[in-house]
Chains A and B, each alone.
Chain A
Amino acid sequence: MIVRQLAARQGRQFLALRRTPVASRFFSSEIPTPPPMEPVVDTPLPEAEPEKIIEEIVPVAPAEPGQASWKKEATHRHRFNRMGTSMKVAYNPDSLLQNPPKPSDITLELLLASQTHLGHSTSRWNPQNSRYIFGIREGVHIISLDVTAAYLRRAAKVVEEVAARGGLILFAGTRKGQKQSVVRAAELARGYHLFERWIPGSLTNGQQILGHCETKVVNALDEELPDFKADLADRPPLKPDLVVCLNPLENVVLLHECGLNNVPTIGIIDTDADPTRVTYPIPSNDDSLRATTLIAGILGRAGEAGQERRMAMAKEGKTTYEPITAQALRLDPFTGTAPGSEQAKKQN
């Protein structure tokens, strides 16, 4: 073992040994020999970079022995990871979440890789989906990818236009594991997310269910106008202008309420779902998290583009919607009279 440590070599353990030249201890002779690891010490090591990264993670805090050892360990780890082979093309499971593709990046390869083509067992099909179905393989319906791409592009356009017109876009995905993608899409599109149960009646009985939830008045640049806080008290609860539903099969109530309230919906329609339940179907596999994450990400990116367009217009002083005037905001939403005059009437 000792002899092996003396030999020059490359490897990850090499660096670890550098600071503790154990080998010298084992020599019986008293002659001071130079530490055997010296040639390695001379090699330039990129010290600055790992330090920087660690300081990003660790905020200003007094160093303690426990923390110091952890820091040292992290530095070592970082240095070792830089050695050896470098992984150029590696699959990052979170890349669809962190950096979802744009609608212009939709390719059939991407859709295929994301498993959007896999439908359900042929016995479970809804014949209304036959125009989206490419064929049957091993008893499973295969969804036509070019149809998926076309419908997905259309849905992305819809999301973008609604976002550009200042509409409220709700992303709903209530299956297990869809939370992250739904939140991310809402974050990108500056929309709203729903990853737990849709409370039945949120649209049809909104005052009871969403009445206590806060709203705000914003100007064209999306800056809050706190002056109108008091005027929002007796306004009816808000309704989304577009609902994107990642699992329409489980959200029958949501889609029904959207239908009653004339809220357009976008839904991922698998081969067993009813495409007429949504306004804009996207024929795709809704059981694969990768597929739903991809679709949510693309729609989120589309919403982002729409919002950017709207902000650019707002900076020029243009809006795609009619802004409410301060006076209209102050009026009673039901009677259309000023609040002061109504009070006066009651007193009389």
Chain B
Amino acid sequence: MAGHRSNCIAQAMQLLRLPSSTSRVTVSRAPSHLRPPRTQTRTYATSEEAVSPAAPEIDFSTSSSRSPARIVPASPAYFSGSPRFIDHVLKLEKLQTKYSGLPTMEASEAPRMAWFKLAQFRDFVGEPVPTKKYKSLVKILQRLNRIQPAAVPAEVRSTLESFLRPGNPYAQQLAPPTVDESGRARGRGKRKESSAVVHLVEGEGEILVNGRSLVDVFKRVHDRESALWALRCTQRLDKYNAWINVRGGGVTGQAEAITLATARALLVHEPALKPVLRKAGVISVDARRVERKKPGHVKARKMPTWVKR
């Protein structure tokens, strides 16, 4: 170890001699400004020393210093290139840590807020903010929005309001659907090319699909199960009668369109079932549709086999 060390020191001293001696020269020539002068002439990129050496040390002995004196950046994040955005982020993060102990509620219960769209936010700060960074900012906003309304500090409330887009798109709420005078609840659902309309009445569990029995319409047990899954998973199979109209698409599409329509109709009767149905995956809409075929392709995306000439 010792041998290695002495060797390396000798090696380093040789290496050190060059840069240190050059910097000494520049120090002695430093004039009266705080920022030392430029002594290095411009080198070509191809020349050996493409990386510029560090600036020489500051000469504090002279009294007068740089001018212009006090034009300063408006924000401490000036040199990041997007100072206003970073100021906003830091402010929100500060609030988040300050009020992290306050009681929160579920994200689904939190008041719905219409934050700036990305383009609006870019106008708001006047800087080209990347999508990803704006998303992380919205995440902080949503966390702050989850603080229980009674405990929200005025500071947080006013800050959150400054990120809302003008006008309140969530102000008008649609009236929730109700059961009609003869006790029917109507629900509509779509899946693939099929669309189904379900009329749900309290009853003994009779089900008619397009005027026929369920077994008649869906030969596969799987389809029958999935069509009535909303009633099955809530154990309501024998408590409702369903009168179903379904059209378009194939067997699977029809069955799953009925699932969605039944679930929606059931929610009209019993809104409290929503979390159960949500968990059962019955009220999530499957919005996938068949992708169109494109010219030059065999199918939507498949390319014809490459043939040599």
Contacts and interface: CB of A to CB of B under 8 A. Distances in A.
Given A130-B9, A194-B80, A199-B81, A321 B75 contact: no
Given A70-B151, A215-B72, A216-B74, A196 B103 contact: no
B68 A324 contact: yes
A319 interface: yes
Interface stretch (B29-37, B171-179, B220-228, B242-250): B29-37
A191 B12 contact: no
A279 B154 contact: no
Interface in A262-317: 262-265, 276-280
A151 interface: no
B235 to A, nearest CB: 32
Contacts of B34: 162, 165, 167, 241, 321
Contacts of B107: none
Contacts of A118: none
A136 B81 contact: no
Contact of A168 (B72, B77, B81): B72
A135 interface: yes
Contacts of A216: 71-74
B79 A70 contact: no
Interface stretch (B50-58, B187-195, B210-218, B255-263): B50-58
B12 A130 contact: yes
Nearest to A57: B101
B148 A130 contact: no
A182 B221 CA distance: 64
Interface in A114-130: 125, 127-130
B152 to A, nearest CB: 7
B70 A321 contact: yes
Contacts of B11: 127, 130
Interface residues of A, number: 84
Residue among B12, B19, B56, B80 facing the most chain A CB atoms (10 A cut-off): B80
A220 to B, nearest CB: 7
B15 interface: yes
Contacts of A193: 76-77, 80
B109 to A, nearest CB: 11
Contacts of A186: 76
B64 interface: yes
Contacts of A232: 71
A61 B152 CA distance: 8
Contact of B68 (A260, A261, A328): A328
B288 interface: no
Contacts of B68: 324, 328-329
Contacts of B56: 262, 264, 279
A214 B73 contact: yes
Contacts of B13: 130
A62 B150 contact: yes
B54 A324 contact: no
A161 B16 contact: no
B307 interface: no
A218 B73 CA distance: 10
B78 A238 contact: yes
A246 interface: no
Contact of B66 (A63, A241, A265): A241
Nearest to A130: B12
B150 A63 contact: yes
Contacts of A63: 150
Contacts of B70: 166, 217-220, 321, 323-324
Nearest to A198: B79
Interface string B78-99: 1111011010001000000001
Nearest to A186: B76
Contact of A213 (B38, B67, B78, B155): B78
B52 A256 contact: yes
Contacts of B66: 167, 241, 321
Contacts of A259: 40, 51-55
Contacts of B69: 166, 319, 321-324
Contacts of B127: 212
Contacts of A129: 12
B90 A258 contact: no
B234 interface: no
Interface in A160-215: 161-162, 165-168, 170, 172, 183, 186-187, 191-196, 198-199, 202, 209-210, 212-215
Nearest to B39: A262
Given A212-B127, A240-B79, A256 B58 contact: no
A151 to B, nearest CB: 13
Contact of A135 (B5, B84, B149): B5
B35 A263 contact: yes
The 9 closest A-B pairs by CB, nearest first: A259-B52, A130-B12, A214-B74, A64-B150, A70-B103, A127-B12, A321-B69, A67-B150, A276-B19
Interface of B: 1, 4-5, 8-9, 11-13, 15-16, 19, 23, 34-38, 40, 51-58, 60, 63-81, 83-84, 86, 90, 99, 101-103, 105, 126-127, 148-155
Given A64-B148, A212-B126, A279-B55, 20 more contacts: A59-B154, A67-B150, A74-B101, A127-B8, A129-B12, A192-B78, A192-B79, A193-B77, A209-B81, A213-B75, A215-B71, A216-B71, A216-B73, A260-B38, A265-B54, A277-B53, A279-B56, A321-B65, A323-B69, A324-B69
12 contacts: A60-B154, A64-B148, A66-B105, A66-B148, A70-B148, A136-B5, A166-B70, A215-B73, A217-B70, A238-B78, A264-B58, A323-B70
